[in-house]
Structure 1
């Protein structure tokens, strides 16, 4: 209220008191005159207050407040101006919301807003096409009730959204979708869903091609390797001068067989999402066996290999696949660690799950190579890999085995000081004795 209205209120009160005193002078009842005058003023004030209360309870969004005069007229005018300003702000906000909804509705990718509990709040038209969501009956439903794939439920509940998740669409197995979730605001979720069917088909074609070619080459290579072995064993009867050539051919045939075996193993790992022979694996005994094999591989190089393994921690999964992954890590440490070097194998658990670390004192790896180490056929030093007989698929096999066991691989390395390869398994994969 401005200063003029304060003065007007004071003048009205003074006029009221003056009128009450004049009435008291005429009637001789000053007290009753003041009571009647103040009571009338209070009654008028309560009437205006009741009008305001009724308007607040019953008014529509665009309905102005009631008319008034004096102090209450000023109050009603202030409310009216606030109402108009609020309507303008809401209009601007609604325009922004409409534009956002129109732009997201035009996207081919599904955009879905979820609350902190994973209940549906809003989605665009693409979500109805890709996921089969229905408006308005699905509003407020948990997203895990509509996308019922077990891997999606596990992915959503674990809260680790650094990597996207690829799954078939709940409305058609022919559609392959990629789910990516981002947290925002008060632990709410924004989920983007892309149709990656074309990429999935191309990837399947690549996998099928590699698997078929590897399978078809396996038989002729087996025949060639068999005849070479026979010739090497009987080279004196054929021609001794051919011994060196036959030994080199036999060595290269063996490398090709190892390469094909690794390719076939990768194709097998990619065929399913989870091992069919999953059962609790005694990791401490498995690592002990791998350590003994690594010591034999070390031979005269005399590596110091130590093992620390918690015997109370078992791991749900395929023992064959885990042996392949763990032995790849340990044997790589033996290959790339100089003689008399130290290799440390450690298996332990904590609140986050279970962990396996393979640490060596080898030559180390430059930081620029670390992100690509698990790619197929990626070689940090091709000449070194050739000397050690590697196929370039070992760490790719490790990566796929860990993915199938819901785990991840961390790699840290320092040139000249060695490397640490750490496998992190979630708590749901761990079984305690």
Structure 2
């Protein structure tokens, strides 16, 4: 692993260390200077930075991670002062996103976010080049500020247009799924809470599962194939979405709007919480996740899945369940284990309780039409009774979403507006 140091103005460094570790960096030393606001030039005071520079030179450190967001001038000053590569928190997250982006949509989103992030840094670089601090950067005058920003704007417009096209295509697919009677469930939650593992066990499908941050950047949708007898007439599609993380700037969240829309437009959101976290960490992550969903200005039904209960005692599970339900306005919390399958059936039952009840219809067919009726109905309904007394009567159960479609087929088949 590559060796790095960590700079912070507080002791809450565990998440940044996890972020660095996910890109195979080892934090060999932490430098913490408690202060209410960063130093305007070097983030930390000059004396502390002298101490850090001495350590860097002695240990031959090549990388530093700052537990916060740097202004461009601070970033340039720190790199120049220490003589090593410096990442602030957002830069590190973008590097992780770039490493995880496999699908076209994710790559476009990351590229858009990077352009937005890098723009003020290049502005600072141009400013310094003009001041003679980077004399080779603008040699010959071929790079002009206006030209550069026009190029950036063109790239960002192009990326937004491509992402909008993908968003519209997904919207069409989503509506087609609803027309076919599917109910849409989105898995949301803090990064590395176990959403992909839950998707795999709910659907019985192979899903890429990695114990690392932000392993899912593009939505993955699969169908629930077991666990409940209503599956055939009330089919459910589950979508895994990008994980939340605290203190992301709005522009970075906006870059992933087309992905997060899967949460906004779901019928039900299953909010996955990691039960193995310490209580304070768990509650902070729950708070961040609930706030992110609230900021989407939608109000889907939310079910909380307290995952990884196989890693803690039953007593701790109960305590954390009670704490979560109390904090989350009594939203239903189901303790589960995606690893062992414990209580997954209870989670599915809760999902189905949140879906509208099945509809019962009684349809009358001329005797010669009954075979045709059974043929067109068998995919979408459950036949619960059949009577014949000169005409054929079918009593069926179906999804509320399929009612109009079935009635349309029925009228066409019998040539009547009578809806039975």
TM-score range, shorter chain: under 0.3
Larger Rg: 1
Greater relative contact order, per chain length (Cα 8 Å cut-off, separation 6+): 2
The TM-score with structure 2 as length reference comes to 0.21
The TM-score with structure 1 as length reference comes to 0.20
* More helix per residue: 1
